Amino acid sequence: MLNLARTAIAASLLTLAACGPAASDDPALTEGAWALDSEASRLNYATIKAGDVVEMNAFETLTGSVSADGSATVEIDLASVSTGIDIRDERMRDIFFVVADNPTATVTAEFDPAAFEGLAIGRSTQVPLNGTLSIKGVEAPVEGQVKVTRTGPDSVLAESAQPILVNATDLELTEGIATLQQIAGLDSISPTVPVSFTLTFAR
């Protein structure tokens, strides 16, 4: 009976070991460079006009990368602006952004690679965003929090933890806002824009 009990205990321990977490062979997130998956990424912003009318807009084409040392760059194709109304898209492209002369806006940031050391698949971490937005030759700081989730061995999802506020005054864009306001016959357009993003990167 004693030998039978020992055999049963040993078998139970082997079963538990087999069901336990296996050692991961997945490479660390800090190994290699990452490219933005444009098809699986989105950047949205909200405009507030006439005091309390909120409208959601987006940029549909993004490119970017993150290097092994934590240097990140995201380029926004300004011609891909989408407001849901064709004439408004045209005004944003031609009057506000003047995409013929300013086709892209660029966000750059530096992240500490140590913050992602050992991040397992399915786990998330939150890191500060201290970056720079460049548009039409003018730069302004962008600050916020980014939630980073490892979705696979070679895929990562980066999301804004809260909307990031971008002020047109900092980017010297108020003249363009005034022009749009006059064309549309609006009492006001807020210069402050909440921005949110969902970015997928693949190694």
Max distance between CA atoms of the chain, in angstroms, equals 93
pLDDT of residue 30: 83
Beta bridge partners of 197: 43
Residue 24: pLDDT band (50, 70, 90) is: low
Residue 25: pLDDT band (50, 70, 90) is: low
Q: What is the DSSP track for 93-145? A: IIIII-TTT--EEEEEEE--GGGGTTPPTT-EEEEEEEEEEEETTEEEEEEEE
Instruction: Answer for the pair 150, 121: CB distance below 8 angstroms, yes or no.
Output: yes
Q: Domains, the chain, ranges and CATH?
A: 30-202 (2.40.128.110)
Whole-prediction pTM: 0.85
With CA atoms as reference, report the closest residue to 142 among 190, 95, 67, 196.
Answer: 196
pLDDT at 23 over 90: no
pLDDT at 75 over 80: yes
Instruction: Provide the token pair at 133.
Output: 């937005």
pLDDT tens figures, 89-147: 999 999 999 999 999 999 999 999 888 888 999 999 999 999 999 999 999 999 999 99
